[in-house]
Amino acid sequence: MSFQCRQFYLKDDHCAMKVSTDSLLLGSWAVVQPHEATLDLGCGCGILALMMAQRGAAPVVALELDAAAAAQAQANVAASPWPQVVQVEQAEVVNWCAHHASYAVAIEQDDASKLPAQFAHVIFNPPYFAAHLASDDQQRRLARQGQGAVWSDWLQAASHVLTATGRVSFIAPVLAWSAILTAASAVQLQVSRYCEVQATPNKPARLLLIELQRGNQRGLPPPQQLCIRNQTNQYTDEFKQLTGAFYLN
């Protein structure tokens, strides 16, 4: 399969997790600063890494455990306008982040491939939640899987490589909200922004776009709201405005 964005083209036929609206939402909603070191955890075909590069982040490092997916991400990056900005690493997220300090020193000895010691932005779309519009029973099962597998491990991994003023952006099911808050608090990360996402106006929000930052903020900020499709099943103006830099809608 393939997907055409406005400035780059993606193939995802060698990836278990295909390009989805989730990644387009997250990559569009996340705050991106120019020339900001960014880390994409579990990059799949590389869509988030390339979205970050298009928006001006640099350098962008993308981690992917699966060899076939990592190779496809590398090919997508090579064919994009930003082959010198995005670097794909075949690696397991938790181990890579835990050992990054010494790993970065070794990499920096090679002038052809340098990695930042810390990242101002860590972004990820967990593979567990691609089927976010599944039935309620499936949704609960996915949320339970994520309570341990992603939130405690990946947020801890992100905290190892995050700058003092850095942020973490990701997408998750509403049912995992409590687990996310617990996992974030354990590594001194607080919710700085979040958005409740509805598929249509008559359905409850099942997805959350979340941004975490270091700090001791008390209480949650008011949620943002986003509806993807209107009553006639057309994309809403707010969705088209948010994703307009990427999505050919």
Q: In this structure, what is the dihedral angle of CA atoms 142, 92, 116, 146, given to the nearest 10 degrees?
A: 10
What would the mean pLDDT of 157-178 be, rounded to a whole number? Answer: 94
**Model pLDDT for residues 58-70, shown as the tens digit of each residue:** 999 999 999 999 9
Please report the pLDDT score of residue 210 as a whole number: 98
* pLDDT range class, residue 102, cuts 50, 70, 90: low
Instruction: Return the higher-pLDDT residue of 184 and 17.
Output: 184
Angle at 211 between CA 76 and CA 115, to 5 degrees: 45
Query: Chain-centre distance of CA 36, in angstroms?
Result: 15
Residue 233, sorted as left (phi over 0), alpha (psi -120 to 50) or beta, turns out to be left
**Model pLDDT for residues 137-167, shown as the tens digit of each residue:** 544 454 444 445 668 899 999 999 999 999 9
The token pair at 227 is 């509806």
β-bridge partners, 170: 124, 210
**Model pLDDT for residues 193-216, shown as the tens digit of each residue:** 999 999 999 999 999 999 999 977
Please report the pLDDT score of residue 100 as a whole number: 82
- Residue tagged 């990644």 (tokens): 23
Amino acid at 188: Q
Domains of the chain, CATH where assigned: 2-243 (3.40.50.150)
Beta 207-214 vs 162-173: how paired, if at all?
Answer: antiparallel
* pLDDT range class, residue 20, cuts 50, 70, 90: confident
Question: CA-CA distance, 40 to 54, in Å (whole number)?
Answer: 14
Please report the pLDDT score of residue 134 as a whole number: 43
Least reliable range by pLDDT among 8-17, 27-36, 157-166, 224-233: 8-17
Looking at every residue in the chain, the average pLDDT score rounds to: 86
What would the mean pLDDT of 122-134 be, rounded to a whole number? Answer: 65
Instruction: Return the higher-pLDDT residue of 235 and 147.
Output: 235
pLDDT higher than threshold 70 for residue 187: yes
Strands (E), 5-156: 9-11, 38-41, 60-64, 86-90, 119-124
Question: CA-CA distance, 166 to 174, in Å (whole number)?
Answer: 24
pLDDT higher than threshold 80 for residue 249: no
124 and 47 in contact (C-beta within 8 Å)? Answer: no
Please report the pLDDT score of residue 143 as a whole number: 41
pLDDT higher than threshold 50 for residue 133: no
* pLDDT range class, residue 101, cuts 50, 70, 90: low
Please report the pLDDT score of residue 149 as a whole number: 60
> What is Dmax (Cα atoms) for the chain?
57
What would the mean pLDDT of 239-246 be, rounded to a whole number? Answer: 94
DSSP assigned state of 57: -
79 and 15 in contact (C-beta within 8 Å)? Answer: no
